[in-house]
A and B are shown apart, each in its own frame.
Chain A
Amino acid sequence: QKEVEQNSGPLSVPEGAIASLNCTYSDRGSQSFFWYRQYSGKSPELIMSIYSNGDKEDGRFTAQLNKASQYVSLLIRDSQPSDSATYLCAVTVSGTYKYIFGTGTRLKVLA
Chain B
Amino acid sequence: NAGVTQTPKFQVLKTGQSMTLQCAQDMNHNSMYWYRQDPGMGLRLIYYSASEGTTDKGEVPNGYNVSRLNKREFSLRLESAAPSQTSVYFCASSDPAGLNQPQHFGDGTRLSIL
Instruction: Report which A residues bind B (CB closer than 8 A).
Output: 8, 31-32, 34, 42-46, 49, 51, 88, 90, 92, 97-104
Contacts and interface: CB of A to CB of B under 8 A. Distances in A.
A85 B42 CA distance: 14
A31 B40 contact: no
B74 interface: no
Interface in B63-104: 90, 94, 96, 99-104
B106 A43 contact: yes
Given A31-B99, A34-B102, A92-B100, A97 B50 contact: yes
Contacts of B33: 99
A43 B43 contact: no
Contact of A104 (B42, B100, B102): B42
Contacts, number: 54
A103 B99 contact: no
A99 B42 contact: no
B31 to A, nearest CB: 5
| Interface of A, helix, strand, loop or mixed by DSSP | loop
A42 B9 CA distance: 11
Contacts of B35: 101
B100 A44 contact: no
B94 to A, nearest CB: 8
Contacts of A102: 42
B105 A99 contact: no
Among B45, B90, B100: residue with most chain A CB under 10 A: B100
Nearest to B35: A101
Contacts of A103: 40-42
A98 B45 contact: yes
A98 B102 contact: no
A99 B103 CA distance: 9
Nearest to B42: A103
A10 B56 CA distance: 35
B99 A51 contact: yes
B65 to A, nearest CB: 19
A51 B40 CA distance: 27
